Amino acid sequence: MLRKTLLATLCASALLTVTAPVFAAPTQDFKSEQGPLEVTTMIKGLEHPWALAFLPDRQGMLVTERPGNLRVVSADGKLSAPLSGVPKVWAKGQGGLLDVALSPDFKQDRTVYLSYAEGGGEGDKAGTAVGRGRLSDDLTALKDFNVIFRQEPKLSVGNHFGSRLVFDRDGYLFITLGENNDRPTAQDLDKLQGKVVRIYPDGKVPDDNPFVGQTGVRPEIWSYGHRNPQGAALNPWTGTLWENEHGPQGGDEINIIERGKNYGWPMATHGINYSGQPIPEAKGKSAEGTVAPHHVWEKSPGLSGMAFYDADRFKAWQHNVFIGALVSQELIRLQFDGDKVVHEERLLGELNKRIRDVRQGPDGYLYVLTDEDDGALYKIGLK
């Protein structure tokens, strides 16, 4: 009798193990034009998370927290302790630990790239830095971290670091850089403020960058005239780099980044100063010799992370772009005809959360981070 009872118990336990979900997390439903959204809370209690990157082979994801922590969220929704080996960051204002990206050859080299605010400038000013280290096999440390890029000069007192990292199909690393709230520097080619730069993964400058060899011009520069680009992604269908950036009061924009082009800030803008006065350097919404925005919002949502959707899981989202919004506290969905935006939908407004990053997961779901003292990671799909 005892053996039968024990056998029945073991069988019941085995059945429970097979049928139970990997993790139990609260879900909410929200309305959308394609049908109900199912939003699952994976992690709460993150301190101003800024970015995430998916590890291969269901090892979970890396998440940055602006005060200076890099953590692992496992596939079953567990949060690790902060990893060791992360650089010291300048965590003031908008500064801190920012973007994270994996090497294109991560499975072979286990290299992780981080962007962050680095101090040391005159008068306690900071700039964006990028470095890389090797993720340990047990996911607890970054080994041999070294800096490969520094924004020069260091001019920020806490604003406009930009700081998205994107690898293209050829393995070049693009870094978006804010103008540190020092408007004219976005047009100064001897400075790295308000630029998109292009480098090799080890930090060296490619010989075919547009300004290589020109006197008084930084050779890292790929494009210029940017204000504060906090979202960037590679278009998976064309291989082109897309970027979004904050305008001042009004004039948030999407740009398709081209070699050597001037994107206008502060000479051309759809926005005004927060005081209500015009931007002193602005000549209007356009200026000769500059590229107009690909898409512009006259009222600023406060754009942040950006993701193209190219998975098979949710057919209704294919060829859409999703962008986080900090000010309007929404997830923006854009539909396209070719490259032209033909429709916009605002999602998740009921969350009342500043959406900092959005990424497409390897499972075809969207994952978003909220920029709060008690930040969260959400998994989003259509029901």
- Looking at the annotation, which residues are catalytic? 160
The alpha carbon torsion through 54, 56, 58, 63 (nearest 10 deg) reads -20
Distance CA 300, CA 174 (A): 25
Tell me the DSSP string of 190-250.
TS-TTEEEEE-TTSPPPTTSTTTT-TTS-TTEEEE--S-EEEEEE-TTT--EEEEE--SBS
Q: Is 104 within 8 Å of 167 (Cβ atoms)?
A: yes
Q: How many CB atoms lie under 10 A from the CB of residue 375? A: 22
Distance CA 197, CA 308 (A): 21
> Is residue 180 helix, strand or coil?
coil
Q: Is 67 within 8 Å of 91 (Cβ atoms)?
A: yes
List C-alpha distances in Å: 282 to 164, 244, 268. 26, 20, 5
**Euclidean distance between the first and final Cα of the chain, in Å?**
47
Q: What is the 3-state secondary structure (H, E, C) of 141-175?
A: EEEEEEEEEECCCCCECCCCCCCCEEECCCCCEEE
Query: Hey, CA dihedral for 102, 380, 40, 371, is it positive or negative?
Result: positive
Distance CA 26, CA 23 (A): 10
Distance CA 339, CA 304 (A): 20
**Helix (H) and strand (E) counts for the chain?**
2, 24
Distance CA 262, CA 283 (A): 15
Distance CA 369, CA 336 (A): 25
